[in-house]
Amino acid sequence: MAKYSEEFKGKVVTEYIDGNLSYRSLAKKYHMSSFTPIYERVKNYERHGMAGLKRRNKKKEYAVQFKLDTIQFMLETGASYRETAVPFKLSNSSIVKLWMKKFRRQGKEGLELKRKGHPSMPKKPINQKKQEAKKRTREEALERENELLRLENAYLKKLKAFRENPNAFYEKHRQRWHSNSKKKDSD
């Protein structure tokens, strides 16, 4: 019932408590799709008074020890989630269920507060190319440059030969393709 004001919630709860209408009748009267929110509000009012109807502006974070105390109470007494929420002044019993589920799966560590969102970015690494360039000795840099020049020279020679006689490339490779097709046929 987050979309309803506190006054409206109070009006519906008092109307139920006065005994005029049932949960379902109130839901029909106020054009609500379900009676469950009315039921929850009445229970919260019975447990916590008008404070149970107030909407929290901010999500409350509970300490790990508080969560452990709540779970221990539930385990020792055999109380239900709803019965456990009352003495600890929790307006929603589903939070106790969530804590119990985490406790059973992960133990105490599951109850610890976890930061939400993405982890912070690591410090920016030094540009690896600059780092590698600094590490190289002058001799290594000259060897790398020499190798690149050799590759460029070989490429330019092949390009020049292809431009002078483009059919030579096809003649040379046609023989290879022809011999490969004979091998496939014989297999």
Q: Compute the distance between CA of residue 46 and CA of residue 43 in angstroms, rounded to an integer.
A: 5
Tens digit of each residue's pLDDT (9 = 90 or more) over 15-41? 888 877 788 888 888 888 888 877 888
Tens digit of each residue's pLDDT (9 = 90 or more) over 52-97? 677 665 667 888 889 999 999 988 988 888 888 878 877 778 888 9
Question: What is the domain partition of the chain in residue ranges?
Answer: 1-55, 59-114, 128-186
- The stretch 148-154 carries a mean pLDDT of 93
